[in-house]
Amino acid sequence: MRTLLLTLAAAAALAVAGTASAGGWATAGVSPPPDDPTAGSGWDAKITILQHGHTPLMGVHPTISLIGKGGEKKTFAAKATDEAGVYVAKVKFPAAGSWRYEVYDGFTQYGGAQTHTFGAISVGAGSGGSGFDLPSLPMSAAILLGLAAAIAIALGLRRARPRPAPQV
């Protein structure tokens, strides 16, 4: 009987200790990225942080990071919205290529903050915000060259015309 009581007491102590240490975890969800993002374009990433997967967490400071193939990492802070547990980060795709993304939930209470990993995003080249589309640059140069040639010919014809003789 004494052995049975000791076994039950030990089992109860382990159960309580396990429950006490399991209090600090959260889940992170994020809205899907745009369908065809390009370098320089943006994404308003809507992040939802839930304690134990159920209770919206307020007062945390989540971030979202893009990680390139070479290990380059760009991190964007999320700001709280009016909706409990929902945060928005203004993400800007830095360059073309494949970028993985991850969300740091910011739930530091009980030492349980985690980074949640997601899939990869394929980012197209885009114009990079320079104002010039590289494929159209040779066409623009050809148009400018043609215009310059037309002006040169017009000026040459104007000078080649004979001048009328002065009348006396």
Could you give the CA distance from residue 61 to residue 126 in angstroms, rounded to a whole number? 31
Task: Report the pLDDT value the prediction gives residue 128, as an integer from 0 to 100.
Answer: 47
Which amino acid belongs to residue 114?
Q
The pLDDT assigned to 37 comes to 96
Domain segments of the chain as ranges? 22-123
Q: What's the average pLDDT block by block, 10 residues per block, for the chain (168 residues)?
A: 43 40 79 95 97 93 95 96 97 96 92 90 75 51 70 68 69
Top-level class of domain 22-123: mainly beta
